[in-house]
Structure 1
Amino acid sequence: MANKCDGHNAHFDKTKEEAKKLIQSPIISISLAFFLCFFSLYISPSLSIMAQNFPLVPKPLGGASDDPLKRVSLIPRVPEHKVPENVGERRPLAPRTGEEKPFGEEEGHHLAPKPPSHEIEKLSDVVPKSVRPHESEDGLPKQSLIFPKPLGQRLGLGKKAPFQRGGRPMFALSDDRVMLEKVSKTHSPDMLSFDVISLLSIVHDIFKSHVPSLDRSPSKAPLVFKDYADYTSFEAFAELIDQISCEIECKCMHGGESQGLMSSGFHLDSRHTAAFSVLSLISKYRWDAKAVLVLAALAVKYGVFLLLAETYATNQLTKSLAMIKQIPGISSQETSFNKRLEKSRVLMQDMVDLTTTIIKIYELPPHYITEAFTGHVPIAVYWIVRSVLLCTSQISCVSGFRQDQVMSFMEVSEVHENSERLRKINAYLTEQLNKSLDSIKEKKTEDEYQELIRIFTTMIHIDIVLPLLRLFRSIDFLYHGSGHSKRRVGIDALSQKNVLLLISDLENLEREMYILEQLYNDAWQQSFEILWVPIQDHWTESDKTKYETLHSGMKWYVLGEPWMLSAASLRFIKEWWGFKTKPILVALDPKGQVVSTNAFPMIWIWQTFAHPFTNSRERDLWAEQEWNLEFLIDGTDPHSLTQMAEGKFICLYGGEDMQWIRNFTNLWRGISKAADIQLEMVYVGKRNPKNGLQPIIDRIREERISHTLVDIFQIWFFWTRIESMWESKQRVLKQRTTRKEEREDIVLQEITSLLGYGGEGGGWGLVSRASELMVRAKGNVFEIALTEFDQWSGEIPSKGFLRALYDHLMARRPPHHCTRFMLPESSGIIPNSVECTECRRTMDKFYLFQCCLE
């Protein structure tokens, strides 16, 4: 052994001598000199710059600096990245030993390879939970090769994660179908149920409780104290909630905390296992009940903590408990725990929102809870449980919590991603829920609509009250009287009465109201009652105010709260009774049978004589009625009726051309003198009068050209009566079977011609006396006939003035002259075809949309 050592020493001495000779050689000396020059010129300045950028501040030995939590990190930072104030001195570093090497190998400083999944659990023995990555100003870590990727990047989640995968929402960590199967295996309900809405309401009250010592936001108004005496008793579930709370607490205390590098692997698997353990405890409840029970367990934990925080400064018992639990920092508003609490509260609200949606889903009829819900609600409940575990971990971390300790990146990332996940699930389920609710609403509306059709068309009733109750549904009262005498009454006040339903909107009622008020007297009230039913698709506050103003001046009955009318009732009124925008008057007999879908035409034509507004009454009135001037102007112009009673001829005319009006009236003055007749001319304007007619009326009066109807309203009523005649005639003729009767109806032809004259706006005229022949023509035709008075004046003694004028007009009528005819708005009475009253050809059909045209 000694010989071997001596041999090694001799060999070493020999090698040393050879090295000295090599260094002393000229070539080696030149090489060393060249290297020293290169080092002084290039490498030495670079090292100086690095020393300036990354100075190593020496720390004195001993004292506080020996604390490993106060070592300064030597990891270089980019200059523009500032270090937060609460990060730096107390940054914990993993202990370095020759065996552990957590950051890399000793030689070469290579990064340590990522341990396999089966070895992750061993890291808990190596890396302490206090290890945290470097953080930036916003609390998030700076990217560094020595730290793992963010949770969202490693799991493929986060804001940029796709919401859909193959047409299905993607919520689970792995395949959502696999997760659904696993979660569904924990579900074995036995039809147990309780008042989940009330319990969730209590939980929500706890979550949103305001504690000044913890909430940095401006002080809020104190919550109104709620009396839970009426809520369902939860005594049967108190023990279960305690069990859930203990299970959650136990799992969180044994690996569920999300702190340090261990959060990157260990706590996820642990929380996953804990979630299934909690789901097993509540396997026999419905999914909505599971979510509420788990939230209740979290609320108990959270509520106890809030009570400690709220009474910490004023209650000795609370202070003592807080000292034992090592939570003195809750008394300071500046602790970083406030940030932890704010993020947890956001997650709590997301859980409450999602749970509320799940509760609404299970309020649906069973056959509406389709796969769109059952395929995602279990996943939603699973993530609610996971989020409860996360929040519980955050609250449990208060024990021993330091004021300068901040949330790790893994904690921030997990809370954020859980919130995003819950919101995405809630958005999807809410969308599906709204679709189901719309479908249910449509089905309900259709059923109610078909029921109304049966009630008012096929069913026989003994009183009008029942049909009205079904039509108005949720509205059960009326207003009656005007002014201070108005009072609320029940719908049964209309029992065994004839009722006219005045259906209108809030804009087009003034003229109808004016005429009805003139007709509504004691005689009317003894025969029938009027009930106003205002119709609006969408009611605003201004609409409700206008409704109050309108009905305050009405003498008759008014429907209370008309904005509560169901969609089925609105549809029935529009489709079966033909309401659009023009008011209609639906007549009901004492048994609730519809005798007329619009009694306005009969009332405008015959006033009270139209009662009881039945179809048979309408036929009888037309059978008795003669077509003459007295019938045409009845109720519209008392002056003309007086002149007619004195035996004068009355010439009605219209038009908008003042020059033509002057020429036409001057011709008639000459004719009346030449024919020795007494003539009164009356200007009646045109259909749908606008403001443009008022200047013409004023000019006629100023120049004393002729008599005119009193005002625009009187002109409107004159033409409305003619439109009502056309509508009433069409309704009567509709009951006949042959078209020949319609073509031979002289009255309908005359009404149609007048509507054509009034709709065009051009000049026209009509002359007659009392019950004699009425002669009408367009302005230019009439003008020519008057200028040719000498040609037909000789026929006057034998034929009479009107017959002689009529024969001359017929003989001089152009071979083809037609008129334009615009149909009035009516209750669905639009014939398939209309013949021209002049040439008897079928008129072409057009659609006219008109607004504010003069």
Structure 2
Amino acid sequence: MASNSMRTPAMNQVIPNEIWVSLESEDSTTMKAVRASHAPDGRKVDVKPMLRIIDNILLRAAPGIVEFHIILIHADKLSFMHGTYEDKGSLKDHIISRSDVDVKLKTLASIIKKVSSELFSYNNLVLSGTFKANSNVNQTIIPYGATMDCKCSCSGGRDVNATVMMILDTLSSYSWDAKVVLTVAAFIVNYGHEFLLFTSSEANNSALAQSIAFLKQLRDITDHAKFSKAKIDAIIELIKVIMAVTRYIVELHNLPLESIATDETPMSNAKAFIPKAAYWTMLSVVICASYIASLSGHEESTTELLDLARLGSEGSKILVILRSYKTIYKEYEDEKSKPAYWDLVKTVTSTHSDNVTILKTLLLVNDGKQHLVGHTNKRIHIEELREKNVFLLVSGLDLSKEEIDVLGKLYQEAKTKGEIQYEVVWIPVMETIAWDQEKQQKFEELLALMPWYAVPAPSKIKAEVIKYIKTEWKFERKMIFVPLDRQGKFGSLNAIDMYLIHGNKALSSIFSEKEESLWETQKTWTLELLLGGIDNNFSHVLDWTKQGTMVCLYGGDDIEWIREFTKATKDAVKNISSATRLELVYVGKKSAIKEVGNINTSIENENLSRIWSDLTSIWLFWTRLESMLYLKMQQCKNSRNDLIMQELTTLLSYDDSDRGWALFCKGSSEMALAKGDVALKSMEEFSEWRDAADQNGLFPALSSYIKKSQKKQHCSRIILSGDRQEIPSKKLSSDGCECSMEKCFVYRCCAD
């Protein structure tokens, strides 16, 4: 950071008055120069991954700043000046994993390095100049704006505004949001993260931070000495506002303002205001970097504190303006879509003789083209769907390969032998952000995996259609599968769950909204219900049970437990006097599908048991269980009286525990389920129930011992994918526990 020197009172400079004038006027010479420096070349930079990386750094150095600027975006009532906020909200989807940093970000490393050199050059110049007004001071710390002769090799005399303009010139070809995020990234990497690490509340307890600070002679920072604490606090408050303004610039820049007529004054003002907000952000970054670089070894300056406070105040004003523009845009969009939205609702809810009117209402995009596109670039006219049953598949661009594979197999099966023929149309629903080449590429990659058709231009889906899907169909993130029959009547909105459970057998019930009838013949917990209709892997298990073989399905992601359990089970079976055949089959873990592939390899290499090698089938196994539970929760008034719901809840709660589980099956309906520790203990203590096994058989003796060993479960949990808003708060109870589970929300960045 800096070398130690004393600062004289004569050197306590204020920010030049022309800078404050620039921030208050849209037509100042400085702002004209800022706008003139903007020469975008059309390149597209997705700054959101970069912003998440910055968040990731700040989260570890100063969590309060991340919390402030993220929640600020969603708050309804704010007090910017003191860094406080109402609407606590929750942090969600803002922490990234290493896998998110792809090669595209690496291409920005050189430009960040170049901006960093501009910041460093400015602050190095400030720190190594000689102040003319005091001949007794040879090497001292000069604030920005002071007159000096430079004795280093860099170009001399540059003030803070000149530095900002140089950075703007370096970033001239980038969009405004990219300019700001790249500048902030350079600042955080070179100044901010270290400063915040030393000044965070955890620094006093961190031997690492204390040691680094000692070596860099930054004792005044980590000790929070009286003469520097006020400035440290002021810098932290300013960084909070910098990050909040940065995020608003990104949010506002990515709104499709170009879709609004040019005579809409508020929106044209919004586009014109972004350069000013960007200038304030970059100016504040340069000033923050300068003050951080000069923190060590000088007296506190009152004028510096006033400058920092005034900068923060100007930033707060900018935040209010940016937020007002975002609110205006939302109101504009809402008002613009109201008549069209209610026309759409009227059309969709009216009676029709066929489905074409509704399909055109929902699928026609803003360019008016009446075709759909397939994976081979084949196009069909919407009219070709007339008098056909149609599933509307609604999702974002986060559909998994497993989801597409499962639905694709059922679709192809229906095409070849299904009694009810149907078509599928994919409607990709995006948030209100700019559609770029990256999203287009992702859309095309997913479409290439699909054997059906899609809306050809997701970015041009009408706003009222998006609003209807989110409002009436409750779409958020998890895919939905909405059936529309040939007469233009919508079927069950639970179609995806029914479809995954029963396959194409469910089609007649789905299109007639008679989902309860699918359960009338299935009132007991059986192996056919658990496994039926998925693929050949599962039919083998059913064949074994019909031949008298006892089957043990087991799961989890603890490979050590798997080794111990499979060995103990094999040893127990060997020691039974009567001839007994038992097959062990590993079925994975719901929340760790990717890891299951590695576990499968270990099990196969070590010959521990049989496996299901098809990860798509394993995904379907667990997803079907979730779907069964979801439908049962909607239908069941008392979960304690429903055996299927009890077993589903218990199995899913065991899977979400830290270790494994095992389900022993004899025939179709005799099953004994045990949590991992009980299953292992039961097998290791085989000598305790060996006599009973010899007399009565393996399954009765094992089942009895498990029930005796199984303690009441005092704490269970089930993590369901997506937010099932229709699920009541208290509805579930697992086997062996007298308490009901409470519904809560778990936010995480990925499923694995």
Task: Report what 1:38 is aligned to.
Answer: none
- Which amino acid letter does the alignment assign opposite residue 784 of structure 1? K
- Which amino acid letter does the alignment assign opposite residue 542 of structure 2? L
Aligned to 2:359, the other structure's residue is in SS state: helix
Query: In 1, Cα distance between the equivalents of 2:751 and 2:593?
Result: 8
Q: Cα offset for 1:706?
A: 0.4
Q: Are 2:497 and 1:594 aligned?
A: no
Task: Report what 1:657 is aligned to.
Answer: 558
Q: Are 2:439 and 1:543 aligned?
A: yes
Seen in structure 2, the aligned counterparts of structure 1 residues 669 and 595 have a Cα distance that, compared at 3 Å, is: same
Correspondences of 1:105-184 after superposition (within 5 Å): none
- Which amino acid letter does the alignment assign opposite residue 825 of structure 1? G
Instruction: Give aligned-pair identity as a percent.
Output: 31
Q: Are 2:650 and 1:753 aligned?
A: yes
Q: Cα offset for 1:477?
A: 2.1
Q: Cα offset for 1:492?
A: 2.2
Correspondences of 1:36-75 after superposition (within 5 Å): none
Task: Report what 1:692 is aligned to.
Answer: 595
Task: Report what 1:578 is aligned to.
Answer: 474
Q: Are 2:544 and 1:643 aligned?
A: yes
CA contact (8 A) 2:647 2:734 kept: no
Query: In 1, Cα distance between the equivalents of 2:550 and 2:640?
Result: 30
Task: Report what 1:669 is aligned to.
Answer: 570
When the two chains are superposed, the root-mean-square deviation of aligned CA atoms in Å is: 3.7
CA contact (8 A) 2:674 2:710 kept: no
Task: Report what 2:376 is aligned to.
Answer: 483
Query: In 1, Cα distance between the equivalents of 2:446 and 2:751?
Result: 28
Correspondences of 1:34-433 after superposition (within 5 Å): none
Q: Cα offset for 1:627?
A: 2.0
Q: 704, 707, 716: which is aligned to 2:607? A: 704
Seen in structure 2, the aligned counterparts of structure 1 residues 765 and 812 have a Cα distance that, compared at 3 Å, is: same
Query: In 1, Cα distance between the equivalents of 2:23 and 2:750?
Result: 55
Gaps of 5+ in 1: 1-158, 170-356, 373-429, 734-738
Task: Report what 2:291 is aligned to.
Answer: none
1:654-712 CA-to-partner distances (Å, cap 9, x unmatched) read 12333321221122113323153210001112112244333322111111010011143
Task: Report what 1:719 is aligned to.
Answer: 622
Query: In 1, Cα distance between the equivalents of 2:567 and 2:702?
Result: 17
TM-score scaled to structure 1, two decimals?
A: 0.46
Seen in structure 2, the aligned counterparts of structure 1 residues 449 and 803 have a Cα distance that, compared at 3 Å, is: farther
Seen in structure 2, the aligned counterparts of structure 1 residues 602 and 816 have a Cα distance that, compared at 3 Å, is: closer
Task: Report what 1:806 is aligned to.
Answer: 703
Seen in structure 2, the aligned counterparts of structure 1 residues 618 and 564 have a Cα distance that, compared at 3 Å, is: same
Larger deviation, residues 441-450 vs 832-841: 441-450
Seen in structure 2, the aligned counterparts of structure 1 residues 794 and 829 have a Cα distance that, compared at 3 Å, is: farther
Q: Are 2:347 and 1:462 aligned?
A: no
Task: Report what 2:232 is aligned to.
Answer: none
Correspondences of 1:476-625 after superposition (within 5 Å): 476-479=369-372, 482-483=375-376, 486-489=378-381, 491-521=382-412, 522=415, 523-524=417-418, 527-537=421-431, 538=433, 539-552=435-448, 554-612=450-508, 613-614=510-511, 616-625=513-522
CA contact (8 A) 2:501 2:624 kept: yes
Q: Are 2:748 and 1:846 aligned?
A: no
Seen in structure 2, the aligned counterparts of structure 1 residues 758 and 447 have a Cα distance that, compared at 3 Å, is: farther
Q: Cα offset for 1:824?
A: 3.1
Seen in structure 2, the aligned counterparts of structure 1 residues 591 and 676 have a Cα distance that, compared at 3 Å, is: same
Seen in structure 2, the aligned counterparts of structure 1 residues 710 and 800 have a Cα distance that, compared at 3 Å, is: same
Query: In 1, Cα distance between the equivalents of 2:475 and 2:560?
Result: 41
Q: Cα offset for 1:564?
A: 0.9
Aligned to 2:735, the other structure's residue is in SS state: coil
CA contact (8 A) 2:478 2:722 kept: yes
Seen in structure 2, the aligned counterparts of structure 1 residues 799 and 730 have a Cα distance that, compared at 3 Å, is: farther
Seen in structure 2, the aligned counterparts of structure 1 residues 788 and 516 have a Cα distance that, compared at 3 Å, is: same
CA contact (8 A) 2:492 2:513 kept: no
Seen in structure 2, the aligned counterparts of structure 1 residues 685 and 671 have a Cα distance that, compared at 3 Å, is: same
Task: Report what 1:783 is aligned to.
Answer: 680
CA contact (8 A) 2:389 2:483 kept: yes
CA contact (8 A) 2:528 2:668 kept: yes
Query: In 2, Cα distance between the equivalents of 1:707 and 1:565?
Result: 47
- Which amino acid letter does the alignment assign opposite residue 719 of structure 2? M
State the number of aligned residues.
434
Q: Cα offset for 1:603?
A: 1.9
Aligned to 1:848, the other structure's residue is in SS state: coil
* Higher RCO (Cα < 8 Å, 6 or more apart): 2
CA contact (8 A) 1:585 1:600 kept: yes
- Which amino acid letter does the alignment assign opposite residue 569 of structure 2? W
Seen in structure 2, the aligned counterparts of structure 1 residues 825 and 703 have a Cα distance that, compared at 3 Å, is: same
Q: Cα offset for 1:757?
A: 1.8
Q: Cα offset for 1:578?
A: 2.9
Query: In 2, Cα distance between the equivalents of 1:438 and 1:816?
Result: 49
Task: Report what 1:683 is aligned to.
Answer: 586
CA contact (8 A) 1:573 1:579 kept: yes
Seen in structure 2, the aligned counterparts of structure 1 residues 363 and 514 have a Cα distance that, compared at 3 Å, is: closer
Query: In 2, Cα distance between the equivalents of 1:676 and 1:702?
Result: 27
Correspondences of 1:823-842 after superposition (within 5 Å): 823-825=720-722, 828-833=725-730, 834-842=732-740
Aligned to 1:840, the other structure's residue is in SS state: coil
Q: Cα offset for 1:761?
A: 4.2
Seen in structure 2, the aligned counterparts of structure 1 residues 459 and 631 have a Cα distance that, compared at 3 Å, is: same
CA contact (8 A) 2:551 2:582 kept: yes
Seen in structure 2, the aligned counterparts of structure 1 residues 724 and 820 have a Cα distance that, compared at 3 Å, is: same
Seen in structure 2, the aligned counterparts of structure 1 residues 609 and 526 have a Cα distance that, compared at 3 Å, is: closer
Look at both structures and tell me which one has the larger radius of gyration over its CA atoms: 1
Q: Are 2:531 and 1:633 aligned?
A: yes
Seen in structure 2, the aligned counterparts of structure 1 residues 579 and 665 have a Cα distance that, compared at 3 Å, is: same
- Which amino acid letter does the alignment assign opposite residue 707 of structure 2? M
CA contact (8 A) 2:404 2:449 kept: no
